[in-house]
Amino acid sequence: MIKQFYLFIFMAVLLSACEAPEKSIESENPFFSEYTTPYGIPPFDLIETSHFLPALEQGLTEQKAEIEAITNQEAAATFENTIEAYERSGALLDKVSSVFYNLNSSLTSDTMQDIARTMSPMLSKHSDDIILNPELFTRIKMVYDNASSQDLNAEQQMLLEKTYKRFIRGGALLGEAEQQKLREINEELSLLSLQFGENILAETNKYEMVIDDPEELKGIPENFLAAAKESADAAGYADKYLFTLQKPSMLPVLTYADNRGLREEIFNAYTKRGDNNDEYDNKTNLSRMASLRAQRAKLLGYENHASFVLEQNMAKTPENVNALLDELLAAAMPMAKKEAAQLQKLINQRKDGITLQPWDWWYYAEILRKEKYDLDEAEMRPYFKLENVRDGVFETAQRLWGLQFEARSDYPRYHEDVQVYEVKEADGSHIGVLFMDFFPRASKRGGAWMSSFRKQYRSADGEMVTPIITTNFNFTAPSADKPALLSWDEVQTTFHEMGHAFHGLLSNSTYNSLSGTSVPRDFVELPSQIMEHWAAETEVLSFYAKHYETGEVIPAELLDKMEKSSTFNQGFAMAEFLSAAALDMDWHTISDDKNYDAIAFENASLKESGLIPEIVVRYRSPYFNHIFSGGYSAGYYSYIWSEVLDSDAFEAFKENGIFDQETASLFRENILARGGTADPMELYVAFRGQEPTKDALLRNRGIIK
């Protein structure tokens, strides 16, 4: 998902010096010059790891000087010479960190991780030095206190408000001793967060399930076996089959393998990541992080970390979040129990002689879906060739907003798998650049996300600086004889991440810190999740869901089965998600500095949620990257909060036509273009004409008719 740089909490450092001392660093380092590439794309072919340290250090030095220039002015503080000057400071640091951060997620290495661990405390200190600078805060407060006497437009007022609050929330009002404590907490948290994510990547990469005998793999469709065989060959296991904890490799085992032992082994390996009492164990890390976050919140005058985070979100308070979660849990858990009973009944009817366990759920749910709806997930994949799905999203955006996507093999890219597109308006004018990185690799973290190598903003002289957006996925790669064929979940993921991309690409703001996805966490998923609705529309399916061999459009009969089964297994889906959201809230509503036993704490939370033993929470604490290494602490609920918004918002398109131009324009102008320049509910009402209700969400989930 998306990342925002907020003074660059995740960065890098320390590398060997250049091997050719007779040449200056400035002449070799591409970060020290204006990029000569199309639209300022980073020149990846010129960037080496040895470039990051000097460029980052220079970026720190430059921003420090820029801050000093602001505070040393004799002129009284104004919006232009203080707020806007601060907003535009740190350009080099932003330039370098955006490249480093994205590559550390998509193309990391031991060296890159060493850089990140070394630089992280330096960046934490730099951020605190700015936020806790009393002279700078005095000037910011002066502008804030006299805002009514200045002729500020709405976006300027929002920038002033958010800048002032950033300093207050960063400890500007604390005493010297408290500020020192805050610095220590921030530094330790920055390192723990990095370590948490690195541990999960290492745990994921180290696991291999190598199978010699194809008889052990009965039930798994041939296309997945071919992919496993190719993976084994590439890893040096000739004539064998290799399965990993990457979801495209793991899920076929859980869904189709008749061999229950294999399902249990790979499931346990996945759910025990970070919980193996070895060098990659995360239990102590995460408990310490929760404790430090609680301490920081107390220092800043908040009851707990969730209260601190949610103050700036639509939800506002932990009580509001928990009320929504409780309401949905009360509906979801009975559904999940009913589904578990149905699966056990199926097991008994088949005389399989077992009691349903978590590693059995996908397998028997797939059998039940076939029986109930005559729908085989593998039957759908041939209609979802990756390239067709990608083009389907492009076509959807073209019909909604007139966007054009031109493939550019001549633009720089950081890996051979990456696809690059120039995005244009209907009239051919340039909007931005889009990277799409589809396949897993050992150097890439799991999951799917959108980020930016450069956000949209306007320069000091008013020139539009266009965005460079990147989307990342972990889909099954094509095999020797078949293209990449996506599952329905992967189709939805493609539309989802492209929704984030449109939020970044269609941004039309003046200031970097307010543009694109710089919005409250529980609003940022609205553009992504609403795009998933188009994926399932018959009209949209007709122009991308085509059989990869015959070109036949997905049959109406299969669409009918998909529609009838759309709420199948929703108890399971909601139970595993909602229990994870509740676990996140529990970790971040602790109000003491105790280091909890991570597993005991998790078990107590799941018991309170009512999660049944046949289902494992979507993210167990030791590998809950979203909240311990991904910026979603006290925010995982936001997916379901945003689902209230996206379900209600898509009703407007259903009412007026899914490609109705007036509705599409209202959504672009009030949601996608505005970023964080106004209160999110104001933006939503400007689009929809009213505040959202839960009705559409409850219907979509099958809770009400």
In 127-159, which positions are buried (b, 16+ CB within 10 angstroms) versus exposed (e)? Answer: bbebbbbeebbebbbebbeeeeeeebeebbebb
User: Does residue 126 contact residue 141 with C-beta atoms inside 8 Å?
Assistant: no
> DSSP letter string over 194-208?
HHHHHHHHHHHHH--
Q: Is 60 exposed, middle or buried (0-12, 13-18, 19+ CB in 10 A)?
A: buried
Neighbours of 348 (CB within 10 A): 13
Within 8 A by CB and 6+ apart from 361, the residues are 343, 572, 614, 615
Element (H, E) at 44: none
C-alpha closest to that of 111 among 29, 15, 4: 15
Q: Are strands 209-211 and 241-243 parallel, antiparallel or unpaired?
A: antiparallel
Determine whether 497 is an active site residue: yes
Neighbours of 608 (CB within 10 A): 13
What is the spatial distance between Cα 389 and Cα 496, in angstroms, rounded to a whole number?
12
What is the spatial distance between Cα 287 and Cα 691, in angstroms, rounded to a whole number?
38
- 3-state SS, residue 411: coil
Catalytic residue among 84, 187, 422, 497: 497
48-52-55-56 Cα dihedral, nearest 10 degrees: 170
Tallying the residues shown for the chain, one arrives at 705
What is the spatial distance between Cα 488 and Cα 476, in angstroms, rounded to a whole number?
13
The number of helix segments (H) and strand segments (E) in the chain equals: 28, 9
User: Does residue 450 contact residue 501 with C-beta atoms inside 8 Å?
Assistant: yes
Q: Is 123 exposed, middle or buried (0-12, 13-18, 19+ CB in 10 A)?
A: buried
DSSP state of 485: B
What is the spatial distance between Cα 140 and Cα 149, in angstroms, rounded to a whole number?
15
What is the spatial distance between Cα 641 and Cα 345, in angstroms, rounded to a whole number?
34
Backbone angles phi, psi at 457, to 5 degrees: -165, 180
Residue numbers annotated as active site: 497
